[in-house]
Structures are given as structure tokens and as C-alpha cells.
Amino acid sequence: MRFLQLDVFTDTPYLGNPLAVFPEADGLSTEQMQTIAKEMNLSETTFVTSADAGGYDVRIFTPSEELPFAGHPTIGTCWAMRHLGMVAGNRLIQRSRAGETPVEVDGERLWFERTGTARADLRDGDLGVGATIAGAVGLREDDLILEAREIGRHGQLYPAVSSAGLDQLIVPVRNLAALGAASPNVEHMRALPGMGAYCFTAVGAGTIRARGFFPEVNVPENPATGSAAASLGIYLADRLGPIEFEVIQGVEMGRESHIHVVAEAGRVRVGGGCVLVFEGEISALP
């Protein structure tokens, strides 16, 4: 059974976030998919179970569990299916456990679109800007706040849960020094809402630096997290109004990624590039 390995949210091989795509996986069981994803040992591996003129059905696995939706697998799987000629056209529908996700091709960049919601800030109680969140990401409590003027807006930003298909804990941090010092504590992370923690800070109007920590799904740090960038877009649009920005992620891992986000209230588009690194074949199925 053949597969492709791509780097997503980059146009340079060996940067961005790697993804394995199995484009003809309709004969595999759930257990086989999970075993293969564990063997690939990437943050996600995708298995396409059917394709038609309008899109394709896909299942998305981390090394330890299946996800209803994920961002860089959406960009990468769509790119792979078009590269192989298994789908055509510039507007396609990806069907996963999270429902239908429109994907649009615009030159060298692919965009997916999601709707979502952002919850209230976590300022008080056990999950406020306090020991639980700070301990989970290895920072001090006073690091967990960001002045919105750094993004060219007004106000202050605090941690909150946001979702564009997956609940994500969005964690603003004071500056790049704090972002660089962040380090996940698995024990503390078990007490957090949502999946992992997506820490971000501003480096100027229109540009954000981020790090994504998801140790509970065997992804200690992710070099590019499209679903979390989508959730961040929903979060920022809810608080600051319509917004467009670029997320730079993976710098601390030596896998710099560039994620483009356009968001308004309740709706977000996330885009990026993709490059083929190698093609291979599974010679022994589990």
C-alpha cells in the first residue's frame, strides 16, 4: 500500500509539519490505521477511504488516537489527492468525523474554512490565569497575558478555550522570551480544558509566533498546528473583530512553519503551502 510524506505549511522540504497520507486506505480497519500511524510516528497520519469528483473521505490519526479534524492533515491530504489525480478542481470538500470542510486551492496555497466558537476568558477559579495553566506550560502566572496593541488593536488578551473543530486552550503570553521559555508539564496538562495548549505572542501587527503542546496525544510539541491556528483566529476575531495574520510556528524545533489566517466572528480560513518529500510503500500491513 503506497503512501506519500509531505511537509505542510511550508514550501521548503524538511521544514513545516510532516504528514503521511495513505490515499487508498478503504480496505484498512481502524486498528490497522492506528497501528500504522503509531509506526509512522508523526503528529498525524491520514487515510483516505473514498474519493469522488467533489472531494474525499478521510480519517485522521495521531500515534495514539483518532481525531475528528486537524489542520495540516487537511491541507496535506487535499494536496496529495490532487497531486495523484484522484480529485480535481480548485474547490473540494473533505469529509471527516467533524463533518464537511471546504478546501480551496489558490495558486500554491491551499485554504480550508471552518466555523467555530470562542468561550469566555479563563481569569478566575481553578482554571484562571493561575497555577494550573502556568504550571502546565512551564511559565509564571504573570506571563499569561498579552497587550492587544502588540497586534495593532486595543485591550488585553487572556487564556480561553476556542474551537474550529477541536477544543483548543489558547494561551496568550507576554513576549517572545516567555514563549521561548514555555515547556509542557504533562501532569498539569491533564487538568486543562481542550486538547493541549496553544501558546502565542505578537511580534508585530499581522504577525504572531506560536508553539503548540499536545503531550496527551503523544505530540509533545507540534511544528505547525492548523486546527489551533483556526481556533486562534476564532478567538481573536471574537475579541478584536475581523482580523488577518500570519502565524510562525516551529521555530524552536528547527521546523519553521507559516500559517495564514483570515477570521471574522464565528468563521475562519486557514491557508498554507505544501511540498512532497518522498513516496513509499508499506510492505507488511499490520
Q: What positions carry a catalytic annotation? A: 44
Q: What are phi and psi of 150, to 5 degrees?
A: -65, -20
Greatest C-alpha distance within the chain: 57
Rounded Cα distance between 81 and 75, Å, is 10
DSSP letter assigned to residue 32: H
Which cell numbers hold the place of 232? 486562534
**Interatomic CA distance for residues 44 and 53, integer angstroms:** 25
Strand intervals (E) in the chain = 2-8, 17-22, 45-52, 55-61, 66-67, 91-96, 99-106, 109-115, 117-118, 146-147, 156-157, 160-163, 167-172, 197-202, 207-214, 219-222, 243-249, 257-264, 267-272, 274-281
- In the chain, which ranges are continuous DSSP H helix? 30-40, 71-83, 131-137, 176-181, 186-189, 226-240
Q: What torsion, rounded to 10 degrees, do the Cα atoms 116, 256, 148, 143 define? A: 100
C-alpha cell of 121?
476568558
Grid coordinates of 38: 503509531
